[in-house]
Amino acid sequence: MPIPTNQPGQNRCVIERVTPELDAGRYAIKATVGDVISVEADVFADGHDKISARLLYRPESAADWLEVPMNPIENDRYGASFLIEKEGFYRYTFVAWVDHPLTWQHEITLKIRDGQRVEVELLSGALFFDEMATLALPDDARALQAAAKLFRDKRGYEHALHLATGPDVKAWIARYPLRHHATRYDRELAVYVDRERARFGAWYSLFPRSTHPEPGQHGTFRTTAALLPRLADMGFDVLYIPPIHHIGTAFRKGKNNAVTAQPGEPGVPYGIGSELGGHDAIHPDLGTLEEFKALVEESQTFGIEVALDLAIQCSPDHPWVRDHPDWFRLRPDGTIQYAENPPKKYQDIYPLNFETDDWRNLWEELKRVLLLWGAWGVRIIRVDNPHTKAFGFWEWVIAEVKAEYPDMLFLSEAFTRPKVMQQLAKLGFSQSYTYFAWRETKAGLTQYLTELTQGEMRHYFRPNFWPNTHDILTWPMQSGSEALYLSRFFMAATLSSNYGIYGPVYEYLEHTGIPGKEEYFNSEKYEIRHWNWQHVNKLTYVIGLVNKARRENSALQHTNNITFCDIANDHLLAYLKTHADGNRILCVVNLDPAQTQAGQVRVPFDKIGKGPDEEYLVRDLLTDAAYVWRGETNFIALDPHVLPMHLFRVEDLYR
């Protein structure tokens, strides 16, 4: 049956207030395979006739719409859902119509119950059956024709009454809808379906140049590859490395961001480009392109992906400065405008000017770089400060790159105002850094997670929680408290299905900041560091256990499935994560790094599928301790000097 399109004048249904729908369909929502998309709409017609509505959806590649009947929720609101089964774009929209056969069955039933004669109404029914028969499968068509004949035969009156009000007619009406004058929703909405890694992954960031086993040596792709077994053992999915290109020498910065580098200092990887090459070239001290590709390939054998870093900015030595001075802002004295945050100057960095009249070539060049990286085998891009480049560029380039590499993922490193961060996510970024590092209290964390997972953002903004990055060492982390490093790591990894740590520094509890700043002292951005990559401690042990639990528990592989649990102690944060497959994880964290905190956690028993007095087991996946709990309220005490958290799996008791 063809789905009707709008016929102005005679259609009577209205479809509106659709959710999810971002800015009247301007932006796509996001999903991964296996997600169930639940949609709602207001649907109504004039008068008192019955209406029917259907959700229409299809993968963009499919020619035909699939139809799902919509069910009433309340007050003219209807809902339906569909399962995402493949990657790429899906579309969804709606159709609704005044359902005359359904109205007819409703009304004839009332009249028959009232004892009225309904000969004429039966004739109306016969006309409906005639038309349905033209749409029906052969068996149904024969049954419909027989019913129409019966309804026209005065001798079959009693039998017809029975049939008219019964389930067969109801089923035919649903199966062969007569959709004259149907209303089609006037927008087709989009879902972009990414691969699973968009939704779920543990990131580890390091500087390859700091991976050499010998102190004082420049690390390489090969010494980085040597760390893969360790990262795999610890359960990481993504290895993110800062820019790997040539580093400029003009205005090169020294250790701790000194204005002038000393001879022999390596410079900042974000001062991209030298006369030897720009974003499409590789720093020779790290190795060759072949060695980089080998790192990418070897990572895959450990189940790890390498994420590259796109920082759209140049050192004064970058080839673009020579070849395309018009891509930069020129000062009236003929020099190129360096980066500024007045009164501060960053003369080692030239920002690109997205208002350049040659913007088309600039965009194409940046696309070329990304496609080149794709050809190198890279499928994850961490984008440095995307909020300082034009929005329109991101929307275009992400779409262009995904057209070539649909599995390419983009992480937005925008630590800026909420609406700017939201906009970048709407425009296509697969994941986004967040304010998590600065949400420290129970109230702050609860409010922020509620905003991310319960509001409109849940449809398009995938958070990636980092307790630290190579740019960020928050004030509390400067205490170096082991309990705090444990709890912050744990919350990042269990509140959000995507998280990351800036690795060796975190593992070592390195915590010296630059005075007055939330930044690392002796930062690897400005110098080569040396780490003992064999070390183990409580933190590395817990990281391994938590990552293992994440891989084994589907509830930890999603972010929006969170419910906060009441617990009358502001130092204790408790949250339940559940998945449709029955997996239930209850996390409890002591936010106080100094003292044992205790309280009664209230488990919403309906969400764990238990009655109010039913017993169940909670098993701590970190210690393997198991407790039998009953009902809603159960006691918790957490000593931060032992472990500041529980990672409980809720299990059924059979005895």
Catalytic residue ranges: 384, 413
| Residue among 215, 263, 264, 343 that touches its own copies (CB under 8 A) | 343
Choose the binding region for its own copies from 253-261, 418-426, 515-523, 616-624 (rule: CB under 8 A).
Answer: 418-426
Choose the binding region for its own copies from 111-119, 224-232, 535-543, 570-578 (rule: CB under 8 A).
Answer: 111-119
Number of residues that bind its own copies (CB under 8 A): 59
- Confirm or reject binding of residue 24 to its own copies (CB under 8 A): yes
| Residue among 157, 391, 405, 438 that touches its own copies (CB under 8 A) | 391
The span from the first CA to the last CA of the chain, in angstroms, equals 54
Contacts of 310 (CB under 8 A, 6+ apart): 279, 369, 370, 381, 382, 383, 384
Choose the binding region for its own copies from 215-223, 261-269, 295-303, 417-425 (rule: CB under 8 A).
Answer: 417-425
What is the CB-side half-sphere exposure of residue 346 using CA atoms within 13 A? 13
Q: Write down the least CB distance from residue 156 to its own copies, Å.
A: 16
**Dihedrals phi, psi of 337, to nearest 5 degrees:** -75, 120
What is the CB-side half-sphere exposure of residue 150 using CA atoms within 13 A? 16
Prior bond of 20 cis (ω within 30°): yes
Radius of gyration, CA atoms only, the chain: 31
Q: Write down the least CB distance from residue 170 to its own copies, Å.
A: 17
- Confirm or reject binding of residue 589 to its own copies (CB under 8 A): no
Per the listing, tokens 């000969």 go with 119
Q: Write down the least CB distance from residue 507 to its own copies, Å.
A: 34
Is the Cβ of residue 356 or residue 540 nearer to its own copies in the bound state? 356
| Residue among 212, 389, 442, 610 that touches its own copies (CB under 8 A) | 389
Q: Write down the least CB distance from residue 188 to its own copies, Å.
A: 14
Beta strands in 262-420 (DSSP E): 305-310, 313-314, 339-341, 344-346, 350-351, 380-384, 409-413
- Confirm or reject binding of residue 229 to its own copies (CB under 8 A): no
- Confirm or reject binding of residue 606 to its own copies (CB under 8 A): no
| Residue among 224, 423, 559, 561 that touches its own copies (CB under 8 A) | 423
Q: Which two tokens stand for residue 505?
A: 């520094």
Burial 48-67 (b: 16+ CB within 10 A, else e): ebbbbbbbbbbbeeeeebeb
User: Which of 434, 544, 451, 445 has the alpha carbon at shortest distance from 498?
Assistant: 434
Instruction: Tell me if residue 602 falls in helix, strand or coil.
Output: strand
- Confirm or reject binding of residue 342 to its own copies (CB under 8 A): yes
- Confirm or reject binding of residue 281 to its own copies (CB under 8 A): no
Q: Write down the least CB distance from residue 117 to its own copies, Å.
A: 12
Choose the binding region for its own copies from 106-114, 137-145, 293-301, 401-409 (rule: CB under 8 A).
Answer: 106-114
Distance CA 234, CA 549 (A): 11
Q: Write down the least CB distance from residue 119 to its own copies, Å.
A: 8
Distance CA 474, CA 435 (A): 11
C-alpha dihedral sign at 171, 175, 176, 177? positive
Distance CA 3, CA 67 (A): 10
Is the Cβ of residue 8 or residue 138 nearer to its own copies in the bound state? 8
Q: Write down the least CB distance from residue 326 to its own copies, Å.
A: 13
| Residue among 139, 158, 214, 355 that touches its own copies (CB under 8 A) | 355
Choose the binding region for its own copies from 137-145, 351-359, 469-477, 519-527 (rule: CB under 8 A).
Answer: 351-359
**Binding letters toward its own copies, positions 170-189, x by CB under 8 A:** ----------xx--------
- Confirm or reject binding of residue 157 to its own copies (CB under 8 A): no
What is the CB-side half-sphere exposure of residue 63 using CA atoms within 13 A? 1
Contacting its own copies within 66-85 (CB under 8 A): 75-76
Is the Cβ of residue 17 or residue 535 nearer to its own copies in the bound state? 17
- Confirm or reject binding of residue 16 to its own copies (CB under 8 A): yes
Is the Cβ of residue 47 or residue 264 nearer to its own copies in the bound state? 47
User: Which of 245, 313, 244, 246 has the alpha carbon at shortest distance from 274?
Assistant: 246
Question: Please, what is the Cα angle at 269 between 265 and 274, to 5 degrees?
Answer: 80
- Confirm or reject binding of residue 364 to its own copies (CB under 8 A): no
Distance CA 208, CA 239 (A): 10
Distance CA 378, CA 396 (A): 19
| Whether 413 contacts 382, CB under 8 Å | yes
Q: Write down the least CB distance from residue 329 to its own copies, Å.
A: 10
Residues that bind its own copies (CB under 8 A): 8-12, 14, 16-17, 23-24, 42, 44, 46-48, 75-76, 98, 106-108, 110-111, 113-114, 116, 120, 123-124, 126-127, 180-181, 331-333, 335, 340-343, 354-357, 359-360, 363, 387-392, 417-420, 423
